Amino acid sequence: MNDTLHIEELYNTLGNRIQLTSDEIANFYRSYSPDIPISTIRWKIHSLVNKGVIYSIGRGLYRFGRKPIFKPNIYTRTEAIADIMHRRLPFAKYCQWDLHVANAFSTYLLNTQLFFVDVERDVVDAAYHEIGKTYRRTVLYRNLSEELPYYDGYIVVRNMALEAPTIHVDDMSMASLEKILVDFALDRIFPFSDSEIIDIYANATAEYSVNTSRMLRYAGRRGRRDVIEEILDEINH
């Protein structure tokens, strides 16, 4: 298959470009086969993406290489919360993330910062109690009663869905980008309109590697797979 994709020749011809277009890739393959069908060109582009030769940065735009993996910011508070969980609830499954991650993908910049600690259902109250011993500004998600700016700087403890997708950073359990994106769309406490959610998904998937199958499994466990499918269809058309 690599011979039919002409990967080395593709690098030699277009590898000096900061970005390349689908038309440029099509013209490259037409130099080998002038009558190549557009469906075959699309298949070749799809194969190049799957092999990690190129990745999409927008509609009809590509770069060489693989998309980077999203890595969350780690704050002093993030490390302190992880320490509390490891020492006081060592067997609990949990993950952390913070609201400012949205600012990397949204045109609507948030001034409010919240730290989320998602914990398996049976130990939510225990986690709230233990974290609250150190941080008084800790609240259970189910007790949120005001607009988010009221809780600026708070730690919010929530139920974590079964098998929520997480990553490990320096021995800390953090929410994966797939989980964060799904939560933004499904948890209506977040101040994003439908169009802003579309923009967040489009920007996140253009910049970082996003496992859509992982997203859909997680959304399915939350009973809302159809919502995420609709968003993904929107950004892919």
218 near 178, Cβ under 8 Å?
yes
Give pLDDT, residue 108. Answer: 79
Give pLDDT, residue 3. Answer: 74
Give pLDDT, residue 188. Answer: 77
DSSP H or E stretch at residue 19: none
Distance from C-alpha of 185 to C-alpha of 161, rounded to nearest angstrom: 15
| Residue 79 buriedness (CB in 10 A; 0-12 / 13-18 / 19+) | middle
Q: Tell me: the pLDDT tens digits for 56-92?
A: 877 788 888 888 889 898 999 999 999 999 999 999 9
Give pLDDT, residue 2. Answer: 55
Full-model pTM: 0.78
**DSSP bridge partners of 54:** 64
3-state secondary structure 140-188: EHHHCCCCHHHHCCCEEEEECCCCCCEEEECCEEEECHHHHHHHHHHCC
pLDDT in tens, the chain (237 residues): 557 899 999 999 998 887 889 999 999 999 999 999 999 999 999 999 888 898 887 778 888 888 888 989 899 999 999 999 999 999 999 999 999 999 989 887 888 999 999 999 999 999 999 999 999 999 999 999 998 889 999 999 999 998 899 999 998 999 999 999 999 999 978 888 999 999 999 999 888 888 888 999 999 999 999 999 999 988 876
Give pLDDT, residue 91. Answer: 94
Give pLDDT, residue 68. Answer: 84
Residue 73 DSSP one-character state? -
Half-sphere exposure of 149 (CA within 13 A, CB side): 4
